[in-house]
A = this chain, B = another copy of it.
């Protein structure tokens, strides 16, 4: 079994190393990840410029590849055969912060798994719900949870067109309440515009504000994390708002 590991924080991120090391227990691991941080970069297909791919090493000395493309570009390059390998599974992460609620539409971690699913390969996105500003993190429990989830997915495949969005609470393994299958919940964004002036007196702007919170409703990703569960949300790429179809058909367009 051959597993592609990528992320959106860049090939040298410690979360990727922890994930790659655990995944080696399940199969042959190839790492192809961006050469820089692409957080909140969304689902990208880079077509207006060529991409570079070069060999590098992870901190444990193992071989890896890195590209100047986005996370979804890394998956596309690998799936299109840049390394002359075929993959049975794509695992993306471990993102240092949760990807829950509407985050999944922005998340490079999740869109890498989307790209896999579009290519017909099972995709898993893994994120750790650690505090937003935090020093060194322990990715071990999340990596072990990711391995357990990947093992199950190999024996009981996901439906076609579905990726699994895994969010792990920031706890030790024996503190997890368990694994919970959830639906996508609601994030509460608290963005604010920050106006500054450059040294020449011209304005510039940051999208700032506070770290998003969420509504910890039962049965959702937000609620599962708040209760100490590893959240497993199946996501699809069909965004059709089916409940809106009939009301819209009543309108005389």
- Chain A residues with CB under 8 Å of chain B are 37, 39-48, 50-53, 70, 72-73, 76-77, 80-82, 102, 104-106, 111, 114, 118, 148-149, 152, 156, 158-159, 161-162, 178-179, 181, 183-184, 189, 191-193, 196, 203-208, 230, 232-245, 247-249, 251-253
Contact = CB atoms under 8 A, between A and B. Distances in A.
Majority secondary structure of chain A interface residues (helix, strand, loop or mixed): mixed
In the complex, the count of this chain's copies comes to 2
Given A152-B253, A205-B53, A44 B41 contact: yes
A80 B245 CA distance: 31
Contact of A237 (B102, B162, B183): B102
A204 B46 CA distance: 13
B205 A51 contact: yes
Contacts of A76: 191, 207
Given A52-B205, A152-B251, A236-B241, 9 more contacts: A42-B111, A45-B106, A73-B207, A80-B192, A102-B118, A152-B252, A159-B241, A181-B248, A234-B245
A113 to B, nearest CB: 11
